[in-house]
Amino acid sequence: MSKALILGTGSCLPQKTLTNAELEQIVDTSDQWITSRTGIKTRRISGEGEENFRLATLAGQRALEMAGLSPLALDMIIVATLSPHKIMPSTACFVQAELGATNAFAYDINAACTGFTYGLDLASKYIQSQPEMKVLVIGSETLSTRVDWKDRNTCVLFGDGAGAAVLGGSEDGRGVLGSKLHSDGRLWNLLHMDGPESQNPELQGSDWEGALIRMNGSDIFKQAVRAMDDVVVELLEQQQLTIEDIDLVIPHQANIRILNKLQQRLNIPDDKLFINVDKYGNTSAASIPIALDEANKQGRVKENDLVLLCTFGAGLTWASLLMRW
């Protein structure tokens, strides 16, 4: 059966770097606190001309260039984001227009930090049934527009950026081998963000918290470690593999302490775990594709390597996906 193979990757980070020292001027925090609790040293913040869809478009363009494909070759564009350019139309439609990918249909998905992995899974299923398809999957966020810059519990954690992968059919056994996706909406309250205030007088209530990220950090921490551990074990069992068989694990880059705990629980050697949270913070749906592109460009993934993605985010949502590169 055909498999969905990544043909090219790309990413785009805003120009401006915000350091922990600069954050000390914005909220009551310190480089020492942020570094020890999160591992984050810097994050990128969007400026003029760096709206979500522009970052997404550049990441997509770079992935297409690597794949040697014209935008006209695309059949489908998926953008995973929780910070869309507009609520309507989708960021994916802006990307489609910017790229000139007039043969592609396009839409957004929102599974928070898990969005890119859900998107890869979706692309993979399309390609399995229609191997001639070319699909661009992008994770793109401008979280700086949605964090509460007065809330030190959250504003130090997040950053902006975009990453992308172009997929097409493969008949040689390489590509997406399997995935496990989960959600638990009962725990939505641990991490959430309201939309715009209702304009319907009947529905204008006092429970509107503002369109800002709100989080119960310690509960999210525990859920993230447990869920990512479980979903990796579940996928490895399904594939009849062990962690020793995996060449590179690319986890969602939320917090170095979450990654350290995951590493301990799963026994992942240092050289098989990709980490860049120190540079970019948590870029939600963009974190895995940015990391994937960096790993690819650094030569950390070679043809036929087994690459495992695992992620966790608001929803709650969590997932793992295994591919042969």
Shortest reach from residue 233's CB to ligand ACO, in Å: 18
29 versus 183: smaller Cβ distance to ligand ACO = 29
34 versus 101: smaller Cβ distance to ligand ACO = 34
Q: Which residue is nearest to ligand ACO (CB)?
A: 217
Residue 180 DSSP one-character state? E
- Centroid of chain to Cα 207: 29
* Torsion sign over Cα 262, 190, 149, 311: positive
Shortest reach from residue 244's CB to ligand ACO, in Å: 26
- E strand or H helix at 320: strand 317-324
Contact 88, 147 (CB under 8 A): no
Shortest reach from residue 81's CB to ligand ACO, in Å: 14
33 versus 126: smaller Cβ distance to ligand ACO = 33
Shortest reach from residue 66's CB to ligand ACO, in Å: 27
74-108: burial string, b at 16+ Cβ within 10 Å, e else: bbbbbbbbbbbbeeeebbbbbbbebbebeebebeb
User: Helix axis angle, 115-129 relative to 287-297, nearest 10°?
Assistant: 70
31 versus 75: smaller Cβ distance to ligand ACO = 31
End-to-end CA distance of the chain: 16
Cβ neighbors of 43 (< 8 A, separation 6 or more) are 17, 18, 158, 159, 160, 279, 280, 281, 283
What does the binding site for ligand ACO look like in residue numbers (CB under 6 A)?
29, 33-34, 37-38, 113, 152-153, 156-157, 191, 215, 217-218, 220-221, 224, 252, 254-255, 282, 312-313
**Nearest residue to 178 via CA among 250, 253, 232:** 232
38 versus 46: smaller Cβ distance to ligand ACO = 38
Shortest reach from residue 200's CB to ligand ACO, in Å: 30
State the catalytic residues. 113, 252, 282
